C-alpha cells in the first residue's frame, strides 16, 4: 500500500472514531432536548395553573371590594338611624327627668301643705288670744279713764297689767301676719299641685310616646345590624378566598422558579455539549484537511512521498523503467478522501 492510500485509511479510521464520538454527543444532546421539552411543557402548565389562581384571586378581590362598598354605604345609613335613636333617647331622658322633678316637687308641696294646715290650726288659737288680750286692754284702759274710785295702788297695778298685755300682743302680731300668708300659700299650693300633676302626666305621656318611637326604631336597627353583619361576613369570606388563591399562586410560582432554574441548567448543559461537539468537529475537519493534502499542497507530504518512492525504487529522474505501466494503467486512480463531519 502506497503512502497516499495509507493516509486515506488513517484519515478514514480517524473519521470513524470522531463520528462515533459525535454520534454519542448527538444522542446525549437529544436526551437533553427531550428533557428540556418535557420541562418546558411542565413549566407552561405551571404558568397556566398560576394564572388560574391569580384570576380567581382577582375575582375574589373584585367581589370583596364590591361588598366593602355596600358595607360602607350601609354603615352610613346605619349611623344616620343611630343618630335618630340617640335623639329619641335624649328626649325620653328629658321627659323622664321632668316628670320625676315635678313629682318630687309635688311631694314637697304635699308635705308643706300639711305643715301649713297645722300652722293654720295653731294660728286660730293665737288669734283668739290676741283678740282676748286686745279686748281686755281696751276694757282696763276704759275703766282707768272713767272710774274715779280706783285707788292709786290699784291703778298702778292695772297699768302694769296693761303694759304686760301689750307686750304679749306685740309678740302675737307677727304670728297673726304669718297666719294670713300661710292661708294665701295654702290656696296657691293646691292650685300649683294640680298644675304640676297635669304637667307631670303630660311629661310621662310624652316619655311613653318617645319610648314607643324608640322601640319602633330599634326594630329597624335590628334589621340594619343584621344586614351589616351579613355584609361583613361576605367581605371576610371573599377576602379569605383572595388570600387562599394568592397563596396557591405563590406556591405554584415558587415551583415554576425552581423549574426555570432547572431549565436554565439544562440549556447551559446543552450549550456546553454543542460547544464540545463543535470543537471535536472542527478538530476532526482540520485533521482531515491536513492529512489529505497532496505534495503540491504540503511540503511535508511531498518530502515524505519522495523519500518513500526513492526507497522502493519506484521513481527515476530523466527516464523510464521497465516496470512502467501503460498509459491507461498509469492514470492515477482517484483519491479516497477522509470523511468530513459538518
Percentage of residues in the chain with pLDDT exceeding 70?
65
**Helical spans, DSSP H, in 292-319:** 299-312
For every residue of 58-112, DSSP letters joined together read HHHHHHHHHHHHHHHHHHHHHHHHHHHHHHHHHHHHHHHHHHHHHHHHHHHHHHH
Residue 275 pLDDT level (bands cut at 50, 70, 90): confident
pLDDT at 48 over 70: yes
SS3 298: coil
Residue 121 pLDDT level (bands cut at 50, 70, 90): low
Kindly report the number of other CB atoms within 10 A of residue 260's CB atom: 15
pLDDT at 158 over 80: yes
Task: Read off the C-alpha cell for 112.
Answer: 308643706
Which residue in the block uniquely carries the three cell numbers 300668708?
181
Higher pLDDT, 93 or 339: 93
pLDDT at 216 over 80: yes
Higher pLDDT, 36 or 69: 69
Nearest Cα to Cα of residue 70 among 232, 241, 221, 236: 232
Task: Read off the C-alpha cell for 266.
Answer: 439544562
CA distance 133 to 240: 102
Which residue in the block uniquely carries the three cell numbers 523510464?
320
pLDDT at 240 over 90: yes
Residue 174 pLDDT level (bands cut at 50, 70, 90): confident
Amino acid at each position: 500500500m502506497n503512502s497516499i492510500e495509507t493516509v486515506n485509511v488513517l484519515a478514514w479510521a480517524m473519521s470513524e472514531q470522531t463520528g462515533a464520538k459525535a454520534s454519542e454527543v448527538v444522542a446525549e444532546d437529544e436526551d437533553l432536548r427531550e428533557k428540556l421539552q418535557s420541562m418546558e411543557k411542565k413549566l407552561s402548565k405551571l404558568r397556566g395553573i398560576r394564572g388560574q389562581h391569580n384570576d380567581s384571586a382577582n375575582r375574589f378581590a373584585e367581589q370583596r371590594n364590591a361588598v366593602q362598598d355596600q358595607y360602607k354605604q350601609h354603615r352610613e345609613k346605619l349611623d344616620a338611624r343611630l343618630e335618630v335613636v340617640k335623639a329619641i333617647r335624649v328626649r325620653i331622658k328629658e321627659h323622664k327627668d321632668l316628670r320625676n322633678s315635678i313629682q318630687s316637687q309635688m311631694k314637697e308641696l304635699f308635705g308643706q301643705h300639711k305643715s301649713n294646715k297645722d300652722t293654720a290650726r295653731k294660728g286660730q288659737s293665737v288669734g283668739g288670744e290676741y283678740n282676748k288680750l286686745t279686748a281686755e286692754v281696751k276694757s282696763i284702759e276704759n275703766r282707768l279713764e272713767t272710774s274715779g274710785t280706783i285707788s292709786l295702788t290699784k291703778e298702778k297695778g292695772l297699768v302694769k297689767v296693761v303694759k304686760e298685755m301689750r307686750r304679749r300682743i306685740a309678740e302675737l302680731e307677727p304670728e297673726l301676719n304669718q297666719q294670713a300668708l300661710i292661708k294665701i300659700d295654702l290656696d296657691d299650693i293646691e292650685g300649683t299641685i294640680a298644675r304640676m300633676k297635669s304637667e307631670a302626666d303630660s311629661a310621662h305621656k310624652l316619655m311613653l310616646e318617645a319610648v314607643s318611637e324608640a322601640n319602633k326604631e330599634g326594630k329597624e336597627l335590628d334589621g340594619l345590624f343584621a344586614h351589616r353583619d351579613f355584609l361583613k361576613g361576605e367581605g371576610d369570606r371573599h377576602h379569605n378566598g383572595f388570600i387562599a388563591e394568592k397563596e396557591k399562586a405563590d406556591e405554584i410560582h415558587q415551583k415554576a422558579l425552581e423549574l426555570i432554574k432547572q431549565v436554565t441548567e439544562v440549556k447551559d448543559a446543552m450549550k456546553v455539549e454543542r460547544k464540545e461537539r463543535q470543537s471535536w468537529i472542527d478538530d476532526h475537519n482540520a485533521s482531515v484537511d491536513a492529512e489529505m493534502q497532496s505534495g503540491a499542497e504540503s511540503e511535508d507530504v511531498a518530502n515524505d512521498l519522495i523519500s518513500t518512492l526513492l526507497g522502493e525504487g519506484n521513481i527515476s529522474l530523466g527516464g523510464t523503467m521497465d516496470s512502467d505501466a501503460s498509459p491507461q494503467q498509469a492514470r492515477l486512480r482517484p483519491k479516497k478522501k477522509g470523511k468530513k463531519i459538518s
